[in-house]
Amino acid sequence: MSWFRRNRPEPPRPAAHPSGHLPNPEEAAQRFWERWFELLPQVSAALGDREPHRVENELCELVAGIHPDLHFTVDRGHRAIYALVISGQEDPRLRPYTDAWKAAAPPEDMIWEYHDSVPPVPDPTEVTVNLGARRLPLADVRVVAQVNDGLVDVAVYHPEFAALDEEQRRTMTFLPLDVTLGERLAGERLGRVETATTEPAATIGLLEFRELVRGLDQSQAEPSS
């Protein structure tokens, strides 16, 4: 469940750098966390009242104060109640800013956890995506995966693809991969990604697919004999 998902025209740049010159990543991260703790009572109250819109503008400006091209979400956490995710969507220009932000983050507690990329969900087959009136279980997603020079080319199939429009099919092609692998691993390991409107032969489920991709990292980490 996403409380916020900033993926829209960026808000006005905050007064911290009105000239248009960005602060260095460490300074930006420090300012973010100082302001975050000032805003935290308002954020907690808004989430507790299920009215996240009350603080959405403040959080958009706060994230843009690190870098205006960053995206963020506030989701249900895996280890804590809430998860704050600030992501550069694997843009190498933005990695210094997300790295500095994560390095300066406070320790996680029972309320908040912090991520510098969208993490994988524990079990993607338990996720159901709502697209308009349609409910699409990710347990029905099947993929064909082919490893080429350390990258994985993927074709993604869902039985409902034929009933979806082009944009919905695109969403349902990439979203299962992101929630299965997490944004960072998907960015590092996926090569060509295609939509299959009819089920190909030799498909596997999302959990098998995750094991395959994670196995590539483990095999490369092992020293050669």
% the chain with pLDDT above 70: 87
Q: Taking residues 128-136, report their average pLDDT.
A: 86
Check residue 23 and give its pLDDT: 73
What does the mean pLDDT of the chain come to? 86
Check residue 58 and give its pLDDT: 93
Answer with the residue of higher pLDDT: 156 or 187.
156
Most confident of 12-21, 86-95, 199-208: 199-208
Confidence check: pLDDT of 5 > 50: no
Q: What is the side-by-side order of every strand in the sheet holding 112-115?
A: 2-5, 71-76, 82-87, 112-115
Check residue 78 and give its pLDDT: 86
pTM of the complete model: 0.69
Residue-wise pLDDT tens digits, 10-54: 433 443 444 455 679 999 999 999 999 999 999 999 999 988 889
Confidence check: pLDDT of 80 > 70: yes
Confidence check: pLDDT of 125 > 70: yes
Lowest mean pLDDT among 9-23, 110-124, 137-151, 155-169: 9-23
Lowest mean pLDDT among 31-45, 65-79, 146-160: 65-79
Q: Taking residues 4-9, report their average pLDDT.
A: 42
Check residue 144 and give its pLDDT: 96
Check residue 118 and give its pLDDT: 83
Residue-wise pLDDT tens digits, 99-119: 999 999 999 999 999 999 888
Residue 4 pLDDT level (bands cut at 50, 70, 90)? very low
Check residue 224 and give its pLDDT: 52
Check residue 3 and give its pLDDT: 47
Confidence check: pLDDT of 122 > 70: yes
Check residue 90 and give its pLDDT: 79
**Token pair belonging to 75:** 């989701």
